[in-house]
Structure formats: structure tokens, C-alpha cells
Amino acid sequence: MQPDLKTAAFKRDEAKIQAFTSNEGNKLTELVSPESLVVEAPARDVKTRAVLRSDGDFYEKVIAAAHNNIGLLRAERQDFRFAAEQFRLAVNWDPQLEGVTFNLGLAYYKAEQYRDAYSHWKNC
């Protein structure tokens, strides 16, 4: 029975391709009509948008703090290159996170990435 289903699906796919590539007839109008291809997102009220934005801001701070903490753990192990990468990610998520820009600059310096340390210092 499965080969019959595969054959039927294949024929349906051929019909879809034919309907999309030709303008002859409208055998598959639900596939050809542009109205069936566009799906509108449901409208959100102002309160829902505010809650989503607030939640987004909160999670950005959580992610930044996580990257900062991972960077601190790697710095304790003297893995300053990986620590610098984590601090950089933390800065990308939340540049206002307390101490993260200092951590990033120090990790660049300790990893002997002086060019990055200088450019970071210059941009602060």
C-alpha cells in the first residue's frame, strides 16, 4: 500500500509543479492564487508587545550574565582567549553589564591580543 501512496504523492507534486509553471486552467486554484500563499500574522495588542519586549530585555541580560560568568570561570583557569570570547559575547548581549567591558579588555591583554585590547580600550 505504501508504493501507492508514494505514487499518489509524486503525481500530486507533478500537478503542483505544472500548476505553478503554467498559466493554463486553474486545476489547483488553492496553490496558484496569491491569496492562499500569504499568511498574515495575528495582530498583537499593545500590552502583549510591551510584555514581549520586557521579557526580551530580561533574557538578554540573563544571557549576557551567563557569558560573563563563563568568561570568569575560564579566566580563573588562565584560558584568556576563551574568556575574552565569552566576555565579547556578553558585551554584545548587554554592554551595560557591570564590569564586563573591564573583563573583556583585561582578558584581551592577558591573552596577548594587544590589538584587540587597544581597539576595545579606544572604543570605551
At 78 the pLDDT is 96
Cα 76 to the chain's mean position, in Å? 29
Q: Where is average pLDDT lowest: 20-24, 99-103, 113-117?
A: 20-24
The mean predicted confidence, pLDDT, of the chain is 83
Cell numbers of 70, please?
A: 563563563
Q: Is there a contact between 77 and 69 (Cβ–Cβ < 8 Å)?
A: no
